[in-house]
Structure 1
Amino acid sequence: MNNTLVKGLQLLEELADREEAVGVSELAVQLGMGKSNVHRTLQALVELGYVINEDGRGSYRASLKMWELGARMIARLDVRQAALPAMHWLLEETRETVHLSVLDGEQVMYVDKLDSPEPVRAYSEIGGRAPAYCVATGKVLLAWRERPQPSLHPVNSKREAFTPATITDAAEMTQELARIRTQGYAVNRGEWRASVWGVAAPITDGTGRVVAAIGVSGPATRIKPAGIRLLAKAVTEAARRIANTLAGHDAAVSGAE
């Protein structure tokens, strides 16, 4: 086992249990480690954002980054459970493959899916990934993602063209994300696989934060421009139902049934 990793985790656990900032000497005694070792490990954790040096005085406390990581995992589990009824409803309404996705870096990960009953359908698998800028659920999540530093923003990243429809131009992607935020849903016009189109909408939690996206995808022979509005209405309704469940409300209360 990696001793450096173990020591770092022990320090994090100790700091997480403390209500106030604590110094290097006290941590060294508590954990049975050398002061220089504790100090080096703390500096690494500070650089990574997991620990805060309180006012630079040599007293340390855990940051909220651990909570943020845990919250992401809990949100994923909660979303899967909350989404299932709406996913089944969406499948019945559209008869297209339904995806539930979360953002992981610059990719989307499919955390759940329901296959279309049609003989020709979009292929994917739970746990599968796709470039976020190429698929509808991914573009939705990029559109509502908290803004990182400009140099890390997805519109500034180099993008590969998987099909002639893939958006690779930074200015065009910026416009696309703005349009998605305005209209409330995203469309994949064969940007990942030329023969597959999709429509997706954002899912919010009880605080209004976008935590996932739900969408449908299918062959371009069935999902055509003329039918996008109807599909968009269905996916946004499914997203609303899931959001209501996450917020602790009864999704059936709305008049949108």
Structure 2
Amino acid sequence: MDKTFIKGLVLLEAMARNDKGSGVSELAAQLLLNKSNVHRLLQALVHQGFARKNTDTNRYELTMKLWELGSRTANKLDVRLESLPFMKQLAEETRETVHLSILDGAEVLYVEKIDSPQPVRAYTTVGGRAPAQCVATGKAMLAWADEDVLGAVKNRLKPHTEKSIVRFGDLRKQLEDIRTKGFAVNTGEWREQVVGAAAPIRDASGKVVAALGISGPADRLPKELLEKNGERMIEVTEMISRRLGYSRM
């Protein structure tokens, strides 16, 4: 365990509890650390933009960066809470597994799911991950992702099945089509016999923050049904987005 990192986190917590700013000597006494150690930790926080020194009081204060990070996490939790009723409805309608995913680097992270009641179904776990370019929810988010995210994906293209996208040009073309249609499909690119459809969820600023999709066995979800479910995903994700404050201009 990195003791310096732990000390930095404890220091952040102590500063967050002090509305009037914190002095080096005060923090050292409170945390049972020597002054030079506290000073080095504070300089690291200042360098990374988490803290600043108030020249009038000669005390250190936290910046809004920590609040910004916390707000992003809170927004993700809001997405889950607002999506869950719609997920239950979709599960009843389709009798297939319903997933809520967020994008974490070049991967999707499953933050909520409702399993299909049928004995043969798509298997995933909350907290599980998958390559974003291989699953419908991932592609639904990549279609509106920044270039740095796409660059990370480009470096990780490899075959997981015979249908996996392995050329970046092919991925770009598919993402263009997704932006036009409004939804994405997976035709067995992560697991050979598992397919799915998904659409993006937007926050109040219009940014894509998550994606909602369904998945199931390929023999139960032919292309025509996938397309139909994709259209349904758009309807549902637009309702969720509106609940998050998004308004299409």
Show the 5 A alignment for 1:16-95: 16=16, 27-32=23-28, 34=34, 36-46=36-46, 48-51=48-51, 62-95=62-95
Distance 1:80 1:149, change over 3 A: closer
5+ long unaligned stretches in structure 1: 250-257
TM-score by length of 2: 0.81
2:206–2:246: 8 Å Cα contact kept in structure 1?
Answer: no
In structure 1, the residue matched to 2:239 is 241
RMSD: 3.2
Secondary structure of the 1:133 match is: helix
* Shift in alpha-carbon separation, 1:64–1:156, aligned structure 2, 3 A: farther
Q: Does 1:169 align with 2:205?
A: no
2:25 & 2:209 partners in 1: Cα distance?
A: 41
1:53–1:142 distance in 2 versus 1, CA, 3 Å:
farther
What is the alpha-carbon distance in structure 2 between the residues aligned to residue 101 and residue 219 of structure 1?
19
The SS at the match of 1:247 is: coil
Structure 1 residue 198, shift from structure 2 partner: 0.6
For structure 2, the 5+ residue unaligned runs are: none
TM-score, structure 1 as length reference: 0.78
Alignment of 1:199-218 (within 5 A): 199-218=197-216
CA distance in 1 between counterparts of 2:232 and 2:49 reads: 40
C-alpha deviation, 1:95, in angstroms: 2.1
Quote the offset at 1:27 in angstroms: 3.3
Pairing of 1:61-210 with structure 2 (within 5 A): 62-145=62-145, 147=146, 149=148, 153-210=151-208
8 Å Cα contact 1:28/1:34 also seen in 2: no
Task: Find the residue that maps to 1:166 and give its secondary structure.
Answer: coil
- Verify the 8 A CA contact 2:183 2:231 in the aligned structure 1: no
Distance 1:179 1:62, change over 3 A: farther
Cα 1:39–1:109, aligned 2, differ >3 Å: closer, same or farther? Answer: same
1:28–1:73 CA distance, 2 compared to 1 (3 A): same
CA contact (8 A) 1:198 1:216 kept: yes
Offset at residue 159 of structure 1 (A): 2.1
Between Structure 1 and Structure 2, how many residues are aligned? 241
Q: Note closer, same or farther for the CA distance 1:19–1:177 as it changes in structure 2 (3 Å cut).
A: farther
- Cα pair distance change 1:34/1:141, threshold 3 Å: same
Contact 2:197 2:227 in 1 (8 A): no
Amino acid at match of 1:106: A
Matched residue SS, 2:197: strand
CA distance in 1, matches of 2:7, 2:161: 47
Task: Flag as ranges the 4+ runs of structure 1 deviating above 6 A.
Answer: 17-20
Question: Offset at 1:135?
Answer: 0.6
Per-residue CA distance 1:122-176 (angstroms, 9 max, x = gap): 111222211112111111222233x2548x7234323221011111212222222
Given that residues 89 and 238 in structure 1 are in contact (C-alpha distance below 8 angstroms), is that contact kept between their aligned partners in structure 2? no
Distance in 2 between residues matched to 1:60 and 1:165, nearest whole Å: 55
Contact 1:155 1:174 in 2 (8 A): no
Identity %: 47
Aligned match of 1:224? 222
